Amino acid sequence: MDEKMKAKFAALGIGQLDYDIGYRGGTLGFRAEDVAAAFGIDENLLPRHIGAFVNYRGGGLRGAICVSTYSKEITGKKKELLDELLAACKRAYESLENGSGLNDDEYPDGDTNWEAQGTKAARAAGIKTYPGL
């Protein structure tokens, strides 16, 4: 993640941005306690981690970029703030994926990146997570 993007998230004053993005999926977001304190929300209404995530589907395929869900008890301005934060996390996650070459159709040597092509097709089809065994 470049310094400019880190600075944008730091400017929100929420806390430490946690991220781990790779060819097997990952996460980008904040701890619930930090978001709860910054937005004045009961921490029990939030999941442990607030942000964007991608599940690994196997075979080199990543699922859609999803965002955390939270309690329907959160309404009004606080809900709007959370939704804006989640949308920003999703945009940042996709930007980092793209910047790292994970979504490139070809590797630098010209070989086809089948994992990227499969991931894009799965996302276009609306596949979000691995359904399990």
Query: What average pLDDT score do residues 9-30 get?
Result: 92
Q: Report the mean per-residue pLDDT for the chain.
A: 91
Number of other CB atoms surrounding residue 6 within 10 Å: 13
Question: What pLDDT score does 3 carry?
Answer: 86
Q: What pLDDT score does 129 carry?
A: 66
What percentage of the chain reaches a pLDDT higher than 70?
A: 96
pLDDT at position 132 is 44
- DSSP assignment letter at 102: T
pLDDT, tens digit, 9 for 90 and up, residues 25-80: 999 999 999 999 999 999 999 999 999 999 888 888 898 899 999 999 999 999 99
